[in-house]
Structures are given as C-alpha cells and as structure tokens.
Amino acid sequence: MDIVELDRAYQQFGAAARKSQVSSKLESAQFSNFIDQQLFAKMAADKVSPAAKSSDTEFLRRVYIDVTGRIPTPSAAKAFLESNDPDKRAKLIDQLVDSPAYADQLTTFWANKFKVTRSHESIGTLGRNTFYEWLRKSMADDRPYNDFARELIGAAGEVDTAPGTQFFARWMDVNGPIQDSWDDITDKITTTFLGYKTECISCHNGRAHLEKINLYLTRRTRSQFWQMSAFLSRLQFVRWSDDTIGFRPRVIVNDRNYGTYTGSVSPTNPGNRPLRINAKTEPVYMTTGEEPQSGNWRQEFGRMLTADRQFAKATVNHIWAYLFSHGIVDPPEAWDFERTDPLKPPPGDWPLQNSHPELLERLADFFIANNYQFKPLFRQILKSEAYQLSSTYQGKWDAAYVKYFARHEARRLSAEELYDSLTTATRTEQPMLAAGLDRVLWYANQLPDPNEPSTDFRVVDFMNNLGRGNWLTIERTSEATILGLLYSMNDSQNVNRTSGNSNAAVSSRSRIFEVDSLSPTDEEAIRQLFLATLSRYPSDQELSVALRYRNGARAQWLSDLQWALVNKLDFIFNR
C-alpha cells in the first residue's frame, strides 16, 4: 500500500470514528447547543447519518469567509492550525464576530436585501451614503434589529440626510400613480422583513392564479392587500431640485395626517396594475387583522410588524440560509403559511415547507430573548456541531438529506468574497475610493453599492464578471459561467496578482515575493504558498506534483503555482 492509499485509509478511518462519536452523542443526548439537539435528534429518528465533523482547515476557511468575507492571512491560519487549545474554534468565532470585518460582511448581506443605490433616479450619492453609514453603524453596534426596522419603516425627512428614507425612495414609482409606490413598497416590506411576497395579490386575487405557487396567498384577495398597503397611504413624496441645469433630484419623504387608501387614479396615468376599486380602504394587518391605534399609520405598521413573531422567524431564517446555503423554510423570501405548521399539514401532495419547525421556533425564541441582536445568533449557530459538519459525506448521499442539514453545503464565493480573498491570498490589497466617503477602503465588502469603486474600472470589471449585479437591472448570481471562468483565469490584473514578474504593477509587495524571499527551501515555499492561498498545507501528493513541475526561477514557478491554486475549486468555493 503506497502513501496515498495509506492516507486515504486513515482519513476514512478517522471519518468513521468521528461519525461514531456523533452517533454516540445522539444516543446519549450530550449536545449542549439546542440547534444540535433538534437537528441530530431528527436525523437519528429518521436514520440519516450526518457527515463527519469538519477538519480544522475546513472549518477555518469556512468561518473566516462566512463571518469576514475573506480568507485568513497566513499568520492567522498558522496560529489556528498549530494551536492545541481545545476551545480554539469557539475563541476564533468570538474573535471574528467582534471584528470590524464582521460588520462589513453583515452590512453587505443586508445591503443586498435593501438595494439602496445611487444609480436610482431618486437617490444621489449623499442619500446612498447616509443609508449605508446608518446600516453599517447599526451592524457594528449590534443594534437590535427590531429597532432598526421600526426606524426604517417610520423614516421621514430628506433622502440626502434622513436615514431610512432611502428605502422608500428606492422603491418609489416616479412616473406612476402614488398607489403603485405604496403597493411596491408594501411588497418589499413583507418580502424583506416577513419573508413572504405580496406582489402577486397587489394585481389580482390569489385564487385561480397562485394554486401551484402559494396556498396561503391563494386565499388572499386584492382588497386585503390594499388594507396592508393602506398603512402607507398617508406617505407622500416631495420631489424637487436645487440644480436647474443638471436636475439633481431632491426627495422628501413625509406623511399627511389624513387620508386613506383609494383606488382613484388619473385616467391619463393609471399605472402598471389593473384598475382598482374606487373605494376608501382603512389599514388592517394582513395576518392578524390588527388595526392601527393612532393616526401615525407608518409607525403603527412598524410596531405591528416587529411585534409579529413572523418578523423574528423570517429574520433568523435569512441568517440560517446565509450560513447553511438554504433556509429551514426555503426559499427564505417565499414563505407559504399553509405549509409551515406540522400540526396543520398541507393538502394533497404539497410538501411541508418548514423542514425543522421546532428548531425554527427555538431560534426565534433565542433571537427575541437576546434583544433581536445578531451577534448572539451568529455565535449560537457558528458554535453548533451542525454548522461545523464537513461538506464531504462518507457513504451514498441522498438529495433528501439536504433538508436535514446532514452535511455542510458548499457554495461559490460571492463576487466580493472572491475579490477580497484573491487580494488577501496574493497580498495585493489596494486602496479604493467610493464617491462621497471620506475614507480609504481596502475590501470589496466595504463598498456601499455595486457602482463602486467608480474610479477603478478594474475592480468593477472583476466583480461584474463574477456576478455582482447592479441592484437595478442585473440580478446578483453566484452561478458559474464560462465568461466568469475565462475572466478569472486570463484577465491581466488577475494574472498579475499571482505574478513573480517585477514589471507587474501590483507585484512589488506580492505574496510571491514574500514567500520567495523568506522560504529557505522549495518545499517550504510551496507549503507557505498553499497556506496563504488555500488556508492549509499541501498534501504529500500535492507537494510532490508541485516539486515535479518546477521550471526556471523560483519566483516564476511559484507564480504559476499560485495562479493554479486561485483557480482551483478549493479556492472558488466555500466548503
């Protein structure tokens, strides 16, 4: 038996041993984390074997990318991998969640939900930056998310300076009747904060339209949607400009102290929706039937929404889907309330949408008990055995196991994560500027919207080719494309980052020069380059192959090696 077979046999034995340990824990109910108690009990009951626990190298890279948006530096990776502290994973989680990079990554996550961009015709640079700085400070301070949501839904003032008003300007229909704006914003609120879309029933009753999509909405009517939208019916926009030549838009968001939702619109500007009934509609919260207690209808809407248990459930499900690649209720923004309660199973062959109802309730309880703050929630999930399962599954994988979270699902890095991990691996971080911000940015997850950095087309091209989208006309995607792959492998700026060529503009402090100058032997240089790029040391086989293909000056073949490493699936995916 050669060394490769021995290594494979050892890994299989170790995986079997770890799986046996997990099974023992299941049987003896030794899990301290309620997430593990719920998930592994369900797996045991249904005779589904979980994957083995992730290795230190697998966990290290995963948690760094999920929490900070980039891979660890070689020194950070070395310190973790060589530590014998039995609590090193928990300590690393605490360290990362308390880091500024966590705030950057979580801000990017929520910014992708709210999509406030200065490319919108009603939002300029000042307004975009006001929203971004407010959002980022809320994440950095771990502000209770229910407070944040209430302030956003009740926001009033000028879009340039009043935080939260940008959300309303972002979804304002500039050319249509005001009812279209109210209806569009209502759908964005229910989708973002409550996890269910209401756009369809803003145009027609659910019956005869949604039977194959959403059973709950099948029973909802357009008039019920108008009652929900009526919470915004005193909202108005004042649009003007202080620039008569360039017409820089200035928008003020405020509320009248009178009025209700009415279907009366100008016949010359009916909007994009079918005709509404010309009758006044008072606000009623759709799922509870609650009515406002005061005339401040938007503030009342924010109060009811954040008091609704669905707000907590949808929020924790969003975070779960981010960390596990799919939600407990999936998709996270398409809840069907007729298919989420196991005590009320759906009819016919409709599947239950909620894969772990008890766990979701526990997570919501935990979120509420911890004052709607994200840091305790992240710590609870990240420290679970479930999050730390390997993405490699020993045995035959069944697609039905996905809903058990029986292994960690690999995902392609986002455009920002790929950029930030590439610059970290190659040691080619470069300063970036975003319009109107008075500080230098070093990482893509610090950029306030997909138009930035507007002064550096190379960075913009990189992220556009890797699926960043623009929040207006192009959807974000992490799907692999031929264009993205070719760009990643061949674009000159990407190649130069891994280059040992001193003529390359970014190579004067690159990782190749650092590794080449500090490594006494070729073997050590290869080990350090793997550590810097893949956050692990090479296997014996990988080391042997790298040594075999040495050719020319060491800086040159090290450059070729790192180019190959950053184009490996190991680098492009978070496992």
Q: In 438-539, which ranges are continuous DSSP H helix?
A: 457-465, 482-490, 492-497, 511-518, 522-534
What local confidence, expressed as pLDDT, does residue 15 receive? 44
Least confident of 91-95, 300-304, 452-456, 507-511: 507-511
Give dist(CA 546, CA 538) in Å, integer: 9
Q: 247: left (phi > 0), else alpha (psi -120 to 50), else beta?
A: left
pLDDT computed for residue 494 by the predictor: 87
Q: Across residues 438-443, what is the average pLDDT?
A: 97
pLDDT score of 3: 34
- Cross-strand pairs, 158: 252
Q: Average pLDDT of 378-396?
A: 97
Q: How far is Cα 23 from Cα 353, in angstroms, rounded to an integer?
A: 27
Instruction: Find residue 373's DSSP bridge partners.
Output: none
How many whole angstroms separate alpha carbon 192 and alpha carbon 325?
A: 18
For residue 334, pLDDT beyond 90 = yes
The CA-atom distances, in angstroms, between 120 and each of 131, 171, 435, 449, 567 are 13, 9, 15, 11, 35
What pLDDT was estimated at residue 62? 98
3-state SS, 245-264, equals CCCCEEEEEEECCCCCEECC
> Average per-residue pLDDT in the chain?
92
- Segment 499-524 shows an average pLDDT of 78
Across the range 173-182, mean pLDDT stands at: 94
Cα angle 362-367-369, degrees, rounded to a multiple of 5:
90
- Are residues 308 and 194 in contact, defined by beta-carbon separation less than 8 angstroms? yes
What's the whole-number mean pLDDT along residues 299-316?
98
Q: Is 97 exposed, middle or buried (0-12, 13-18, 19+ CB in 10 A)?
A: buried
Could you report the per-residue pLDDT of 19-66, keeping only the tens digit for each? 444 554 555 457 999 999 999 999 999 999 999 999 999 999 999 999
Q: Does residue 501 surpass a pLDDT of 70?
A: no
Distance separating alpha carbons of residues 276 and 204, to the nearest angstrom: 10
Q: What is the mean pLDDT of residues 273-280?
A: 92
Q: What local confidence, expressed as pLDDT, does residue 499 receive?
A: 82
Model confidence at 507, in pLDDT bands (50, 70, 90)? low
User: CA-to-CA distance for 291 and 231, rounded, in angstroms?
Assistant: 9
214's tokens: 């959403």
Question: What are the pLDDT digits (tens) for 102-145?
Answer: 999 999 999 999 999 999 989 999 999 999 999 999 999 999 99
Confidence grade of residue 11 (pLDDT, cut at 50, 70, 90): very low
pTM given for the model:
0.93
Range 347-370 average pLDDT: 96
Is residue 35 a contact partner of residue 381, using CB atoms and an 8 Å limit?
yes
The answer to whether 385 touches 51, Cβ cutoff 8 Å, is no
Query: Is the pLDDT score of 447 beyond 60?
Result: yes
Please give the full DSSP string across 14-39, using - where no structure is assigned: HHHHHHHHHHHHHHHT---SHHHHHH
DSSP type of residue 232: G
With 50 as the cut, is the pLDDT of residue 388 above it? yes
Dihedral sign computed on CA atoms, order 366, 372, 373, 374: positive
Contact indicator for 39, 404 with CB cutoff of 8 Å: yes
pLDDT exceeds 70 at position 350: yes
**Predicted local distance difference test score (pLDDT) of residue 270:** 93
pLDDT of 519 > 80? The answer is: yes
Chain mean position to CA 139: 14
| Mean pLDDT on 551-562 | 94
**Does residue 564 have a pLDDT over 80?**
yes
pLDDT in tens, 213-272: 999 999 999 999 999 999 999 999 998 877 766 566 789 999 999 999 999 999 999 999
Could you write out the DSSP letters of every residue in 47-60? T-PPPPBPPHHHHH
Of residues 252, 238, 256, the one with CA closest to residue 159: 252
Q: Is residue 211 predicted with pLDDT exceeding 50?
A: yes
- Residue 443: predicted pLDDT: 98
Average pLDDT (162-189) is 96
pLDDT of residue 500: 59
Dist. CA 509–CA 516, nearest whole Å? 11
Greater confidence, 446 or 3?
446
Between 322-331, 535-544, 549-558, the lowest mean confidence (pLDDT) is in 549-558
pLDDT of residue 481: 85
Between residues 430 and 506, the one the model is more confident about: 430
Residue listed under structure tokens 């998310």 = 145
Calpha distance 195→175 (Å, rounded): 28
pLDDT of residue 245: 67
Residue among 106, 105, 13, 42 nearest 359 (CA)? 42
User: Is residue 467 a contact partner of residue 479, using CB atoms and an 8 Å limit?
Assistant: yes
Q: pLDDT category, 493, cuts 50, 70, 90?
A: confident
Residue 506 confidence (pLDDT) above 50:
no
